A and B are shown apart, each in its own frame.
Chain A
């Protein structure tokens, strides 16, 4: 389905010229998480050695220093770890790490750092198992010449899959090194201790460092072995490095401006490129006159089918050249639905689904003493990463190197190889730590555009998307129409539950509540906007509808929203976060103090093997048509916490980012044009929007760690909608929850509080 939408978008947009394109979304909003099949298709691909085509042996040795050379001959070429997917297929130890003779250790991962914290976390993972301090580890990320393919950086998968993969590699290395020391001293390896990168024989106090061992060829030979998946890892109770608040290793470069983001990469003799965009979605180029731009000094102009771009020694000059050709372009436009009619459009174009059923909803509804039926709507929104898409492309001897911001370097590599019809080995994709993504950078448009221009120019070319381009030509979080129906029995318990999400997808669509009769489905539709992954996918939309509807049912049952949820909830982890947050927020007291101007609401949920609950307090300003969130109290649990400082940042970020989608963010479009493609008209949260935030991280040590950068977002919007209802009696069933809507303005002061209270 998503493939169809993309095909449509691409065939009518600037990317038409390319005949084939692999699916740019690993986790499109309309699909369930697909890693297994994607991994399978990848693992069957053959991959040649990089030597002689990409990075030279000399360059690699220079990079790593004079340590073990086996990585050059063995490691990289067989690297296929899938540390992002939990595949059983393993790489060699050498593909994962390299011990330098100066005692530092180079660890390699295909994961991408975009602010969510894997650089610190994976460094900790290696340090923990190698028994060294974090500053001994140098982590190379996301360079297809150097790192194993750990899958896409998405879906909170780094913590549950890549951290274990790195730990397995590091633990295996430690064991191999210990065994070699034992062999050297002719003792049993159980008599040796490892501390701070040094192996000590307990009896004789004889020591040898990793660095000294690394000088021997035996280590090189040993590291050729694949990483066994059953290697023993350090139990949580003995963690010394994991579980601590290690800062991002390159943070000093971030405060000095020294770090080079993808848009900061400069190559010798480089030009800056600009690409012609259609005036509206679906428009096709009929004619264009390139002559004025072609006559401009130092300007390269490229037309290849629908693709038109200019490159010049400065982006200002490239922009002038592009303007010169753009004014001559003639376009054929086509009709496109507007955001005003989007929900009816999605509903009309909904396809048949395959519901998951339990019991019989019909029987449940027939037995119900009360039946509620409501529809919720969620607008398209955009990620608006601080750094828009950017890339530099450089061709040399038929080999292409790109530096770009994408969540999966190997995808960029494969896509570029396919587009330019060259072997994968001739493409190197490097992802410098980039300026955020939130699921919005799964696709590599800028890299391809830069590569086209660079090929024509015969020089490296940088393409930096503008904010307006990012707003218009990247992709969006899917809009949703969600239909809910439920029945309450005479005692006020839910006995039937029907839930259909149209267009947004199936993430967290199953109810965590104990209900005998359910029918739940995600159905696709014909999205007029290009849509894809966004922090926590459709879990936000599904949780908004479910948790709002739960509140409606609680009100219909005359029950307190907290008590009503707990009465239907068996999952002990969700119960824990819910009870924790209710206690810290002082829910039962504050619930009684609700007024027409001040409301409180709560919501909870689970996704990606983590659990969240939030209580919020909102203020209602009817005259100004404003909902102001005063306070958010959130409890979150994702197993054993690997880096509490980073987890706190992620939860804070989810809460505040969640306020944007909850209250204000919404793509407006008409006649194929985005009407609010700027920060002036698309209002994301700012400093003044920051409420009082109280976060409770629950460290649950008896289960595996799950990722924490997504799920904390899903409780915010429904908690706000529920708080607005508590104060006003008005149920707002749309995201964003608009404070200015007539129903809310019309409610007299004091209308809601009494109604909402049981």
Chain B
């Protein structure tokens, strides 16, 4: 039985009628055409589908859409404001912290959530927090540099 779910995505209110078990990822991509959020594994093991729900990192591939009801969701498309990039996006660009770029939206959003709760993470804390996110090009070194750069920049 379908349910009606209302939430805001990147500041816009959306109402979706859907099977409650349908993954939030599918709804974002297929109903709202926010394709910046990626499918990587469907079991919450790679972080490509990361979005922010009320500022918290959420793996949208294992989040039934019903759980998004009345929530405030931010996807990669909603991170830049008024044409200027978020400092974390800037840091990823400055470090060249992407190869194929498929994991990049998830990496960036995980980093945003990390720095929101821990503005001065140690390298160990960064690795611990980012460990859910996979990069198969294995650009981890430059991604770590980007996280450090973003942390520094956001403290200023």
The closest CB in chain B to the CB of A257 belongs to: B36
A680 pairs with B126, CB closer than 8 A: no
Q: Does B42 contact A (CB under 8 A)?
A: yes
Q: Does B135 contact A (CB under 8 A)?
A: yes
| Interface residues as binary, A258-287 with B (CB distance below 8 Å gives 1, 0 otherwise) | 111101101000001000000000000000
A693 pairs with B85, CB closer than 8 A: no
Q: How far is the CA of A82 from the CA of B139 in the complex (A)?
A: 30
Pick from B30, B38, B75: contact of A387, CB under 8 Å = B38
B136 pairs with A684, CB closer than 8 A: yes
Pick from A316, A386, A467, A655: contact of B103, CB under 8 Å = A386
Interfacial chain A residues near B118, Cβ < 8 Å: none
A433 pairs with B43, CB closer than 8 A: no
**Among residues 236 to 276 in chain A, which have CB atoms less than 8 Å away from a CB atom of chain B?**
245, 247-248, 251-252, 254-261, 263-264, 266, 272
A690 pairs with B23, CB closer than 8 A: no
Nearest-neighbour CB distance to chain B for A630, whole angstroms, equals: 14
A258 pairs with B36, CB closer than 8 A: yes
Q: How far is the CA of A678 from the CA of B130 in the complex (A)?
A: 19
Pick from B26, B33, B136: contact of A314, CB under 8 Å = B26
Interfacial chain A residues near B18, Cβ < 8 Å: 316
Pick from A255, A264, A653, A690: contact of B99, CB under 8 Å = A653
| B45, B127, B138: most-surrounded residue (chain A CB, <10 A) | B138
Q: How far is the CA of A203 from the CA of B108 in the complex (A)?
A: 54
| Interface residues as binary, A620-658 with B (CB distance below 8 Å gives 1, 0 otherwise) | 000000000000000000000000010001001111110
| Interface residues as binary, B67-103 with A (CB distance below 8 Å gives 1, 0 otherwise) | 0000000011101100001000100110010111111
Pick from A263, A385, A433: contact of B101, CB under 8 Å = A433
The closest CB in chain A to the CB of B146 belongs to: A255
Pick from B30, B75, B101, B138: contact of A653, CB under 8 Å = B138
Q: Does B1 contact A (CB under 8 A)?
A: no
Pick from B35, B39, B42, B138: contact of A266, CB under 8 Å = B35
Interface size on B, residues (CB 8 A): 58
Interfacial chain A residues near B45, Cβ < 8 Å: 678-680
Q: Does A464 contact B (CB under 8 A)?
A: yes
Given the contacts A263-B38, A435-B100, A687 and B130 also touching, CB distance less than 8 Å: yes
Pick from B39, B103, B128, B144: contact of A690, CB under 8 Å = B144
B96 pairs with A251, CB closer than 8 A: yes
Q: How far is the CA of A315 from the CA of B30 in the complex (A)?
A: 8
A316 pairs with B102, CB closer than 8 A: no
The closest CB in chain A to the CB of B88 belongs to: A255
The closest CB in chain A to the CB of B23 belongs to: A316
Interfacial chain A residues near B39, Cβ < 8 Å: 263, 388, 464
The closest CB in chain B to the CB of A259 belongs to: B101
A251 pairs with B101, CB closer than 8 A: yes
User: How many residue pairs at the A-B interface have CB separations less than 8 Å?
Assistant: 175
Interfacial chain A residues near B113, Cβ < 8 Å: none
Q: Does A115 contact B (CB under 8 A)?
A: yes
The closest CB in chain B to the CB of A653 belongs to: B138
A467 pairs with B42, CB closer than 8 A: yes
Nearest-neighbour CB distance to chain A for B151, whole angstroms, equals: 15
Q: How far is the CA of A653 from the CA of B143 in the complex (A)?
A: 12
Q: Does B59 contact A (CB under 8 A)?
A: no
Interfacial chain B residues near A159, Cβ < 8 Å: none
Given the contacts A248-B96, A254-B104, A687 and B35 also touching, CB distance less than 8 Å: no
The closest CB in chain A to the CB of B128 belongs to: A688
Interfacial chain A residues near B131, Cβ < 8 Å: 686-688
Interfacial chain A residues near B3, Cβ < 8 Å: none
Nearest-neighbour CB distance to chain A for B77, whole angstroms, equals: 5
Interfacial chain B residues near A255, Cβ < 8 Å: 76, 85, 89, 92-93, 98, 101, 104-105, 108
| Interface residues as binary, B113-147 with A (CB distance below 8 Å gives 1, 0 otherwise) | 00000000000001110110111111111111000
Binding site for A on B (CB under 8 A): 18-19, 22-23, 26, 29-31, 33-43, 45-46, 48, 75-77, 79-80, 85, 89, 92-93, 96, 98-105, 108, 126-128, 130-131, 133-144
| Residue contacts A-B, CB under 8 angstroms, 22 given | A115-B101, A117-B99, A248-B96, A248-B101, A255-B76, A255-B85, A256-B36, A257-B37, A260-B35, A264-B29, A314-B22, A316-B23, A384-B136, A386-B136, A386-B137, A387-B38, A464-B39, A678-B45, A679-B43, A679-B45, A684-B136, A687-B131
Q: Which 5 A-B pairs have the closest CB atoms?
A: A257-B36, A115-B100, A435-B102, A254-B101, A257-B76
